[in-house]
Structure formats: structure tokens, C-alpha cells
Amino acid sequence: MPDAVEVEDVTRVFEPRKKKDERVVALDEVSLTIPEGEIHGLLGPNGAGKTTLVKILSTVLLPTSGRARVCGHDVVEETKAVRPLIGIVFGGERGLYWRLTGRQNLEYWGALYRLPPAAVRERTRTLLERVGLADRADQRVEQYSRGMKQRLHLARGLIGDAKVLFLDEPTTGMDPIAGREFRTLIGELKGEGRTILLATHDMVEAETVCDRVTLIDRGKIIATESPRSLGHVISRFQRVDVEGAPEPVLGRIAALEGVSAVTRTEDGGARIEVSEEGATAEVLRRLVDAGVTSVRTSLPSLEEVYVQLIGERGLEV
């Protein structure tokens, strides 16, 4: 049985439209495999290439080079075979007919997936209940809050009973409760055997619902692992928490090669962060030599890994 999603050396270059613009390499020889039934997170900052990859897999954008397949079907050559199998949810408030009701929107999209009219009506009703919009189903979308529109987007992605779902920032605008319900829904969809590619900025979301995550930055894949073991993959980013370390010792450790930061904690201890393979051993040796015995090493959280790998570049994209 083929993997649900196979991406092989996909590159996507956007040529400049005007002479003064620059050529943009949105994806640079990206390769990725997602087995059937997996929930896969795609993490990266703005401009990393997440949406570009989702669009290529959704058949709405062509890769410059490389191949991508969904359930064994090429997304460029076999769009007719791919499209009935996929559902897409793009973030943001657009993408719905605002002057129609939520129900009318879903019925339209259901018909485009060639469902019989009775099945469209039944599926629309079920999905509106599932995303918590049953009471507002006959209200115009323009009267919906941002979070409600996002939930309707999600329902639209599910109306075709897709085997593979591409969700691009699906919780944008949702309040925390709705976000939690969304994560529950994702779990249910996994239980139904669907494969989900979830492009997100939300580390909690990725850590909670994803079987594996891929970190992507500037069009290149940095790492692919389970959220919990990603810290092991990049073990060079270990951290050492100490108690009772004298200030001069911490000062000397801070000057060591491979130590990225030494910060005081609120309880009077200190956290030493390393960024090079082997630096942890040297830090521990120095601490023991200085008579510091209350030492604990740990791996960074997904968010810390993300920040370390992607870099704290603020608003720069």
C-alpha cells in the first residue's frame, strides 16, 4: 500500500513578476513521506514554505521540479485521481461565500464532491453539528465570528469525506476552547483512519495532536521526528539546570565554546543552554570540579527546539 503522501525532491521557485523583485525559492528539494493514518505537523515561520507545500499537494500549484504523490497518484499528472481523495482547509476568513448561510456553503461544496443530494444534506447536517455550528447553520456567514468561519472552513474540508486532509493554519482565530475542541476533532479523524498534514505555528497544537512533525525553514526541511523525540534528534541543544553554582563558575562556563546561554532562574538556580555536540560533557565536568552536585540535564521542548533551529529572527521572514 502506498504512503498517503510522498514528496520527492520538490522545489518550487517563484520567478519575479517585476524586474526589481527577487526570485524566491519557496521549497528547496523537499522530501517527505507520510504513512496512511498519520497526523503530521508542518512547523515553520512565515515564509518557510508550509503553504507552498500544502498547495502543491492540493493540486493547485505546480512544483518547479520533483514529484509529489497522494495515495500513489501524482499531483501534477493525475489530478483527477487525487482531487476526490483530498480535503483542504486554508486559514483566514476568506474562502467562503459570505452572503450565503453556513448550510448553503456546505451544500454547495458537497455537490462539488459529487455526492448525491440526499447525502449532501445529511453530511452537511452532521458536519455542522460536529463543528458546533448547528444552531447558526442558517445564518449568513458574514454574521459569523472569525472562529466560526474557521470551523466552517474545517467542515468544508471534511464534506467530501477525504482520505487525506491538508490543514493550513486551521485554528487561526479560534478561541482556546474551540482550539481544544479542534484537537479533539483531529483525534476523532485519526480514529477514522484519515491522514492529516497540519501546517501550523502552534507548538502546543503540534505537540498534542501530531504523530510526527517536520520543521521547515526557508524552504528546507530541518528535521522530521515525533514531537517528543525531536529533542533527542537534536541533542546538542541540551540544557543543564543547576543549584548552588557559584557566579565565577557560571561565568567561566558561559565563556565555553558551545554554551549558548547561562541564565539565572527565579529560585536562585541557573539554566545553562548548550548548542554544540559534546559541550554538555564539558559543562558537567566543570560543575563537578567546582563541587556543584545538584545538576539535572534535560532536552528542550518542541517550542525551544523550534526557536533554536529556526532562530529568533523576530518579524523577519
Partner 1 sequence: MRGFLAGFGLELRIVRAAPDALMPLLTAPLFALVFLAIVRQSGRADLEADALLAPVLMTLWWVALQHAGHLITGDRWQALLEPVIATPTSLATILLGRIAALMGLGLLSFGEVLIVGKLVFGVGVPFEHPVEMALTLLATAFATAGTAIAFAAVFVMTRNAYTFTNSLSFPLYLLGGVFVPVAFLPGWIQPVSSGVFMSWSADLLRATVKRDGIGDFWSRLAMIVALGAASFLLGRLILFHVLARMRAKGELATV
d(CA 109, CA 113): 7
Q: How many residues does the chain have?
A: 317
Helix axes 117-130, 146-158, angle to 10 degrees: 140
Phi, psi angles (nearest 5°) of residue 302: -60, -40
| Binding interface with partner 1 (CB under 8 A) | 12, 14-15, 52, 55, 58-62, 80, 83-84, 86, 88, 90, 92, 94-100, 104, 108-109, 111-114, 140, 156, 160
Residue 164 CB, shortest distance to partner 1, in Å, is: 12
d(CA 129, CA 100): 18
DSSP classification of residue 137 = T
d(CA 84, CA 65): 24
Written as nine digits, the cell of 278 is 559534546
Closest to partner 1 by CB, 73 or 212: 73
Closest to partner 1 by CB, 87 or 300: 87
Closest to partner 1 by CB, 41 or 157: 157
Closest to partner 1 by CB, 159 or 234: 159
CB 149 within 8 A of CB 71: no
Residue 44 CB, shortest distance to partner 1, in Å, is: 18
Give the residues across from 270 on adjacent strands. 242, 264
Closest to partner 1 by CB, 69 or 83: 83
